[in-house]
Chains A and B, each alone.
Chain A
């Protein structure tokens, strides 16, 4: 049997096999990145911290008023200890939220510590295994001792769950980054390269079935992205003890829809460019803003609130947020269905317009 679709698919994998650099950049590099960032952000001091303070609207609390006396209009505490040999400072921004919201924020990695006033004391929730959270606690402790003079109780159990660490935030982001890059470069750039080589027109004139050609690109990229995700998950599980807290079906649905979205975008990006400079520019123009804005490495929560709706409309943001929901917040399909529909819609629309203007010859 000499099936054209199987041959087209096989060629993608032969290229991977014969180009070890591709395997490095698509599989080993993200793992290395997660290792480096995951470990280093567990050890490194951070100047900026975020903490949630649980507020009870019915009660006026002395702690809240003391805190509010020490923060600026941005709800940020700028602390500098007494000058001396061990002098140090930090910035900590507070989110005043209800109890439920506070625990959501910590799971999303948006805050690393929670303060809950009760009676004349406070409870401090943080993950003792999370170095960043521990650092935030020690910073806060010195501030409380000097400025607030309140007794506190540390509650670690509720927080020492997976989902609150930087690596829990980072790993789903890296999976999304892999999906985006795999599609944009593996499909979009591949189209442009085949067009530059005039091989695309030769294959179509052969006559190659266009549907098989497109499907082989999509399927090979989905398989590669799935392998990359699997390796990242296994690495995350064995090294950082990360597990998927939500539904596996939801994870698969988000993964497929993310691939659909970025494959469609890749078809549009690769639909007409006929030289490498334009191709490179187009791919970078699409991927770099998302890479910066969509919160892959750091949450977009610190970016101006005015642009949050735009950021949330980006496919990479939708993908990363919904994948983090599944990984860290135990989401099931019903929690991510909107993102799935949105991503699929983007995928279909961009591929529709991409194919409309596609330059095969």
Chain B
């Protein structure tokens, strides 16, 4: 597979212009597991009221990063400060202002939805009414008396989200909240989160799904191999990359079509020999496409399944790393 790969964080000056103050400050944190560096000397700020999505393939370090922010794991080096507090000295206070949903949580099988919500409400010193309210807000009112073992995957995620939001947190941290759910269940979770956002909480989520990031978040952080390779608003990320559109086609053979690299105005070329696919990153499809077709014809190169479309985050990630977000 041929790809261009560059470590490419986008300056945060645009974000700072928005007069947001950082609520989470992450300064040069590193986390290692034996020989693997899961998070590598990473520095970012998350601003108050901002919705931020951390995207990346499996093993990028997303979960390790959010678990360090949640105080579940400790970094080997570096500092994390939340509202000028840290986990070492202010765990009790921080737990009260953070709502979180872990990547994978199962519940006590023989306990009902309402009893589970009631239990978590009591951890925050909240009344029964709050548990009832959250059962309704999570869309689980008709499953209130069902045992958690009988819930579907989507219902369990809703319960997990309801628990994350039960204390009206200032900071909501969700680790892959919709992974494995069907599109309908995923959208239900998104709308619940949109409702909650009206309370002006800060949302930080990790996801594999670019649609989820696009729907819920203004700011996108792309992680790969423990580092941030892109950070900014989605349109800015695509703009900074220098290409906005994509020409994609299949081909026969194992030989690299050299003529594609000589074409004018093609920003980047990605060749996937495993899937026999070529992607050309361009700015103006209508101008470039006839040139590509003519050059292919001249080189006696057969183009199959031609598609032209706007670039999305997955394409951006692919162009940066040579890998798909879903890998």
Contact = CB atoms under 8 A, between A and B. Distances in A.
Interface of A: 2-4, 6-8, 11, 14-15, 18-19, 197-199, 201-203, 205-209, 361
B119 A201 contact: no
25 contacts: A2-B118, A2-B122, A2-B127, A2-B128, A2-B131, A4-B123, A4-B125, A7-B115, A11-B108, A11-B111, A11-B115, A11-B119, A14-B110, A15-B108, A19-B110, A197-B105, A199-B105, A199-B107, A205-B72, A205-B100, A206-B95, A206-B163, A207-B95, A208-B123, A209-B123
Contacts of A18: 110, 147
Given A2-B118, A2-B131, A19-B110, 18 more contacts: A2-B121, A2-B122, A2-B126, A6-B122, A7-B118, A14-B111, A15-B110, A15-B111, A18-B110, A197-B107, A198-B105, A201-B102, A202-B102, A203-B120, A203-B123, A206-B95, A207-B95, A361-B72
B70 A207 contact: no
Contact of B95 (A2, A15, A199, A205): A205
Closest 3 CB pairs of A and B: A207-B95, A4-B122, A197-B106
B322 interface: no
Nearest to A194: B108
B104 interface: yes
Contacts, number: 71
Contacts of B261: none
Contact of A202 (B71, B92, B105): B105
A24 to B, nearest CB: 15
B297 interface: no
A255 B147 CA distance: 35
Most buried by A among B73, B100, B106: B106
B277 interface: no
Contacts of B106: 197-199
Contacts of A11: 108, 111, 115, 119
A255 B108 CA distance: 29
A199 B125 CA distance: 19
Contact of B104 (A2, A198, A205): A198
B124 interface: yes
B166 to A, nearest CB: 9
A2 B100 CA distance: 21
Contacts of A2: 118, 121-122, 125-128, 131
Contacts of B72: 201, 205, 361
Contact of B120 (A198, A201, A206): A206
A208 B121 CA distance: 10
B25 interface: no
B143 interface: no
A209 B92 CA distance: 10
B310 interface: no
Contacts of B111: 11, 14-15
Contacts of A14: 110-111, 115
B297 to A, nearest CB: 57
A4 B124 CA distance: 8
Most buried by A among B102, B123, B124, B131: B123
A361 B100 CA distance: 14
A4 B91 CA distance: 19
Nearest to B103: A198
A3 B119 CA distance: 8
A7 B119 contact: yes
Contacts of A201: 72, 102
B96 interface: yes
A2 B128 CA distance: 6
Nearest to A16: B110
A224 B120 CA distance: 25
Nearest to A209: B123
Nearest to A212: B123
Contacts of A205: 70-72, 95, 100, 102
B123 A207 contact: yes
Nearest to B96: A207
Contacts of A202: 102, 105, 163
A312 B229 CA distance: 64
A209 B91 CA distance: 12
B159 to A, nearest CB: 11
Contacts of A3: 122
Nearest to B72: A361
A256 B110 CA distance: 29
B204 to A, nearest CB: 15
A168 to B, nearest CB: 38
A4 B126 CA distance: 10
Contacts of B108: 11, 15, 199
Interface in B64-81: 70-73
Given A14-B110, A197-B105, A202-B102, A207 B122 contact: no
A14 B125 CA distance: 21
Given A361-B72, A361-B73, A206 B105 contact: no
Contacts of B128: 2
Contacts of B147: 18
A8 B126 CA distance: 15
Most buried by B among A6, A15, A202, A203: A202
